[in-house]
Structure 1
Amino acid sequence: MARLPALVRAVIAAALLPLLVSTAPAPRPLQHPGAFVDRTRLDFVRARVRAGDEPYASAFDALRSSRYASLRYNVQPQTEVVCPPGNRPGRGCVEEREDAIAAYTHALMWAVTREPAHARKALEIMDLWSGAVRGHSGGNSGLQSAWAGSMWAKAGEIMRYGHKDWPDEHITRYERMLRDVYLPQVAGGSLGRNGNWDLVMADAAASIGVFLDDRAVLERAVERVRQRVPAYFYLRSDGPLPKSPPGGLVDTKRELTRYWFGQRRFVDGLAQETCRNFEHVGYAIAATAHVAETARAQGIDLYKDVAERLRATLELHSRFQVDDVENGPEWLCGGKLTLTMGPDLEVALNHLQNRLGLKLPHARRLAGEMRPAGTDHLFVAWETLTHGGEPVK
């Protein structure tokens, strides 16, 4: 067959090009609202509160009576938030965290009641901060950014995709705040720190990614959790020692023992910070569940990778805390436990118990004793209200 002229060959190649391109489906668009709570859940909560069903009615009463829900709440925006490590005084750290929680609280108030005053208050808080804050500094700046950033993104999602009167220029400014001020602080995690840092940072990054409609940011956060959780929540299938966290900074037996606060015997559900205190384990549980909820709203099943570790950790720690066993067995943390877990169980418990049908008697009892769960004044707020039960599908 005679060779085709160059021009004809070019025309044929151009026509065939679409057939040579991958036919893989395009990534699913992100769902909004979809940072931690989606529209189905918000509608479900609103209906349960209106019907007076428990535990939602009591949880809503706790939210409504909190100082964060006051329409006279005093907002204190900062330009530079300075958060040194330890107990050294900073500038704007408490104000930032509490204002972010207040914004989320008013967003939830509006989602449940549809009272315009709460929508206006939520937008007021968010607009004042997006117009002011320019950065964070100090040794705790990354963790501070994670705590506040996760709440800002969740509040923003509810208001942006539920309330129609947020001006476009204010939304753009809020996007810029999350992308330029908060995301750089949390996107890379925190190698070498205690594991709750990495997990809380991933929580913030995942929610920010959804608000920015940036699937790549979300997926990187999800992958960080997949890598970090096995090195934080221990299972006997890991072997005689816990897995090393990503980064290669902690990998010898001596380093792992020191990293796990001197613990030498490992059992299912032990966490990297168990022998520090239960409070920080609670932070890690909550952050992991937050990312899994956000991922689930976006069609990503992170729970399948973390569910068994969460189940074991919830039961182990809840068993000691509900029985108030401060003097535990000698092999565990030298027999001295700090039972300070806060309102961090609801989201993980809802998935494991209500979706998967697993039995978690100790965690169920502890969550019941804490209900209605309020806020830790950091990044956990009103989770009996949002996750006290599961919508009927």
Structure 2
Amino acid sequence: MRFHRPRRAPRTRKGIVVAIAALVAALVAGVITTAASASTSTPVTKAALSTARLPASVAAPATFVHPGVLVSRSELDYVKSQVNAGAEPWKSANTQMMASSYASLSRIPKPRAVVECGSYSNPNYGCTDERQDAIAAYTDALAWYLTGNAAYAKESITIMDAWSAVITSHTNSNAPLQTGWAGSVWPRAAEIIRYTYTSWPNVNRFATMLRTVYLPEVINGSNSNGNWELSMMEAAVGISVFLNDKTDYDSAVARYLNRVQAYIYLSSDGALPKTVPGSGLTTSSQIIKYWQGQSTFVSGLTQETCRDFTHTGYGIAAISEVAETSRIQGVSLYPQIGPRLQQALGFQAKYQLGAAVPSWLCGGKLNLGLGPVTEVGFNELHFREGIAMTNTQTLTESQRPQGTDDLFVAWETLTHADNPN
């Protein structure tokens, strides 16, 4: 199934972009609080735009925590103590990361001014290079913190500086998704380096890159398959933390919360899945088509389960990673999205482990391949909160150490396996 090309956000001056972001935050937040149970798109009035607010329990904190994108200082300290003690699974996960090409101190970054990514990255002009350089910058940042070897911090800075000096835009049909993937990883690296290393002279230039090249491409979301908008909102949340931008953080969280409830079905939703305001999905036939032709809905089914588990995994990863960042920031979204994430992990894990596929589910055939995406959600829901998740536990532990998907997920056994912090 091919993506339809989503409507692109207009390239505007900074002031206009911020104003639009604030309006979007108000619009979506109003739908969350007043019409969250609707199964179809809800008309929005000018009054709603001016009066709606994101609930304080999920809005941006008074002061952002740093480092605070996906991993916190306390989490990193815990990982470091476990690696130094030779404990598993952290020892094996660290060995895996350090042996990867992403940890090479001789890596030569490959920035370009315009990254052009068509459908399924065809054409691929800088798409792979950008994603992998971002993962390398994050890998080096982790390596710096865990080893104390400044060479890794300097390598991470070299990669980030190379891109911030050159890139101006993303183009072609996959531009929003590409920007979401790379934009999810850059802030992880940048947060660690900025707040744990001694010097980064070009940090403001990097911040400008995130503000002007990445954020405008992702902040207004997408009506394509759900993993697009979830990855885009992960990028927007991470960038907003790095930029200490409460307005765009709230806008991204509002879109994220609406998308999560429209991506993972719960039986309490009713006969049909929820939809995202403005999606244009107003009839049962349109919703069923959007859900890959699936007409029987059970808790844990995702909008892309019947497409394939790989893309479903992208959605689950982004959902988990945004929630983890919010928890670090002290405004945890897990209470809002936890039940859906729990069901999605368990449902997909059951079939990934080999359960027979019933005829009512995706015509009796599933395209498996969930990917290294279960550690973050499993750690929160099972290890921290004590929820029994038998299938998810079996799958997660059998896949350790979970490495990287070479897109935007990387080293989450190392950072989040049994991490209490």
On whether the aligned pair clears a TM of 0.5, the verdict is: yes
SS at match of 1:86: helix
RMSD: 1.4
1:214 aligns with 2:245: yes
Report the CA distance shift for 1:285/1:240 in structure 2 as closer, same or farther (over 3 A): same
Quote the residue 1:366 is aligned against. 395
* Structure 1 gaps, min length 5: 1-23
1:187 equivalent among 204, 219, 233: 219
Give yes or no for contact 2:379–2:417 (8 Å, CA) kept in 1.
yes
SS at match of 1:241: coil
Quote the residue 2:35 is aligned against. none
CA–CA distance in structure 2, aligned partners of residues 273 and 344 of structure 1 = 15
Query: C-alpha deviations, 1:55-95, integer Å up to 9, x for none?
Result: 11111000000010011122111111001113522210000
1:98 aligns with 2:127: no
Shift of 1:245: 2.1
SS at match of 2:303: coil
Query: C-alpha deviations, 1:6-64, integer Å up to 9, x for none?
Result: xxxxxxxxxxxxxxxxxx9x952111111111111111111111111111111100000
1:57 aligns with 2:86: no
2:79 equivalent among 33, 45, 50: 45
**For 1:1-393, what aligned pairs fall within 5 Å after superposition?**
28-86=62-120, 88-167=122-201, 170-191=202-223, 193-323=224-354, 325=355, 328-391=357-420
Higher relative contact order (CA 8 A, sep 6+): 2
SS at match of 2:115: strand
Quote the residue 1:15 is aligned against. none
Give yes or no for contact 2:61–2:329 (8 Å, CA) kept in 1.
no
Report the CA distance shift for 1:257/1:130 in structure 2 as closer, same or farther (over 3 A): same
SS at match of 1:136: strand
The TM-score with structure 1 as length reference comes to: 0.90
Identity rate, percent: 48
Structure of higher CA gyration radius: 1
Give yes or no for contact 2:111–2:130 (8 Å, CA) kept in 1.
yes
Give yes or no for contact 1:228–1:246 (8 Å, CA) kept in 2.
no
SS at match of 2:142: helix
CA–CA distance in structure 2, aligned partners of residues 367 and 127 of structure 1 = 35
Shift of 1:164: 1.1
CA–CA distance in structure 2, aligned partners of residues 107 and 144 of structure 1 = 22
Shift of 1:246: 2.4
CA–CA distance in structure 1, aligned partners of residues 88 and 289 of structure 2 = 44
Report the CA distance shift for 1:91/1:248 in structure 2 as closer, same or farther (over 3 A): closer
Quote the residue 2:32 is aligned against. none
Paired amino acid for 1:139: S
Give yes or no for contact 1:373–1:382 (8 Å, CA) kept in 2.
yes
The TM-score with structure 2 as length reference comes to: 0.84
SS at match of 2:170: strand
**Runs of 4+ that moved beyond 4 A:** none
Query: C-alpha deviations, 1:307-333, integer Å up to 9, x for none?
Result: 01111111111011112x4x6111000
* Residues paired across the two proteins, number: 363
* Structure 2 gaps, min length 5: 1-55
SS at match of 1:82: strand
Give yes or no for contact 2:61–2:330 (8 Å, CA) kept in 1.
no
